[in-house]
Structure 1
Amino acid sequence: MNNPRSGSDLAYVLHSVPYKETSLIVELFCREHGRMPVVAKGAKRPHSALRAVLVSFQPLSVRFSGKSDVKTLTQAEWLGGLMSPDGKALFAAYYLNELLMRGLTREDAHPELFDLYQQTLLGLSEGEDMNVCIRRFEVGLLQAFGYGLDWAYDAKGEAIEPALEYVWLDQHGWIPSVGGNVNNLQNGSVEQVVQGQWIAEIQEGIWSKAASSALKPITRKLLMTHVAPNGLMSRVWMEHLLRT
């Protein structure tokens, strides 16, 4: 693994824990360096310059140094321009962070996923529909990790037909559903009918509330299978809130 003595990047705080009496170990999501743990020395001190900026869901410019896996954070500057999500959207944002913590390996860069994360935080903070925001992020994350859904073709390589209905078979793809009868499918199928029209629209970058809701069981199964087999605490909190 390449361990430079120093570097800089754009970053978000995913998680932090106390370290010794006055410091923190902070998990950063960096655009060019992926998930990176850093020691923020003295960050717990009342007058530390790092204390005020090392908060979740805010864009940072960071500098770090060190040759070990855990770098030393030498500078962090708040870039501004983004309001933090609040209310129920705040729990959705924590869900994004937990997905990234579970799925990212250290120093494995995913610039497009970083950009999607930033766009999703913006959507949540501006009141965009939460189901749309979350589903779009889940799909992008699965794509980045190699478990993406094919929006153009079904499991046999035939073009998606907008007039048909489909179900998803993990590791195979979309299978046309005849009259909603999916009971005879192999293990790994998700018994949720998705309109071909919705699949075609997502291929074009169009996300509707109906499509986002229909895809929820599919992305949940894929995430639980490939990213977080032991479950996600933030999903439990979020779904409890959405029911209230």
Structure 2
Amino acid sequence: MSSRRATAPAPAYVLHRYDWSESSLILDLFSRDQGRITVAAKGAKRPYSQLRPVLLPFQRLLVVASRPAKDETADILTLRSAEWAGGQPMLGGAALFSGFYLNELLMKLLARHDPHPLLFDAYAATLPALGAADDTLTQAALRAFEIVLLREIGLLPQLDEQTASGLAVAADAPYQLRPELGLVAWQQGEAALPGARWAALQQALDHGALAELQALCAQALPALKTTLRGLLHYHLGSPRLRTRDVMIDAQQLMDAPAPLASTSPPP
């Protein structure tokens, strides 16, 4: 996908969509070749548009986009074509919220036109795990993706050495990952993992072994969830993500007891 001229289709996912007019959309796409890009999908809302059934979240697409011929400096590209590239069924239920959570992270943390092919591949490999019936697998996949994301955008310190000193971690000693300090020796009352676990996570990252990284995360979910949430919120500058608020509200509604049947007629 070229920013100047339409070329061969390139893989991408829809992260977010906005109404542009009665017939068109503005889309944020996560492209393997160009990273996060914004495109105008003209006529995509029309009933018979070929784009209408294709531009869905969590579905792998092949897209062609380029800058308008009259404005080679435009930040918003024009979507020339988009085709479904095959893949998994649509996410539903809790998996849908998890997917939108990943999309919100990418929207807020990725700069436009900054390619991250390894992160794109991790995103594509994470989506199937979100729909798994095993909650441990889903949570491990989310934590692994967060780790890959933080590393890809340069916000994750080396995990097999202490950040301040550069000394290798001791296998049996506990360490914590703190947003403002990096990897440091454990302090009472905060989530920590042994040095051997941190080093194993680093090794999986270095080898690009996402499945291994997910397996390691599954063995340390409580500590990693607390740690990574703090790290992400620190760099986002926000105490809570919008998707997380929606998830919490939905969960409270599902957990609420059903109202008692009324013996009086409705008003």
What is the TM-score normalised by the length of structure 1? 0.87
Partner residue of 1:133 out of 141, 148, 154: 141
Identity of aligned residues (%): 38
Q: Distance in 2 between matches of 1:105 and 1:153?
A: 28
Q: Distance in 1 between matches of 2:221 and 2:250?
A: 18
Q: Which amino acid aligns with 1:4?
A: R
Structure 1 residue ranges without an equivalent (≥5): 183-190
Which residue matches 2:55? 54
* CA 132–82 in structure 1, closer or farther in 2 if over 3 Å, else same: same
Q: Distance in 2 between matches of 1:102 and 1:12?
A: 16
Structure 2 contact 26–40 (Cα < 8 Å) conserved:
yes
Which residue matches 1:173? 182
Structure 1 contact 83–125 (Cα < 8 Å) conserved:
no
Q: Which amino acid aligns with 2:221?
A: S
Q: Which amino acid aligns with 1:238?
A: M
Question: CA shift at 1:228, angstroms?
Answer: 4.9
Q: Distance in 2 between matches of 1:242 and 1:201?
A: 34
Alignment of 1:1-244 (within 5 A): 3-7=3-7, 8-66=9-67, 67=72, 68-127=74-133, 129-155=137-163, 156-177=165-186, 181=188, 191-205=190-204, 206=212, 207-229=216-238, 231-239=240-248, 244=255
Structure 2 contact 6–66 (Cα < 8 Å) conserved:
yes
Select the structure of larger CA radius of gyration: 2
Q: Distance in 1 between matches of 2:42 and 2:94?
A: 33
* CA 196–115 in structure 1, closer or farther in 2 if over 3 Å, else same: same
Give the match's secondary structure for 1:6: coil
Structure 2 contact 176–191 (Cα < 8 Å) conserved:
yes
Deviations 1:149-187 (A, max 9, x none): 42211232222222111122334332222xx536xxxxx
Q: Distance in 2 between matches of 1:161 and 1:199?
A: 10
Aligned length: 233
Name whichever structure is richer in strand by fraction: 1
Structure 2 residue ranges without an equivalent (≥5): 205-211, 256-267
Question: CA shift at 1:230, angstroms?
Answer: 6.0
Q: Which amino acid aligns with 2:148?
A: G
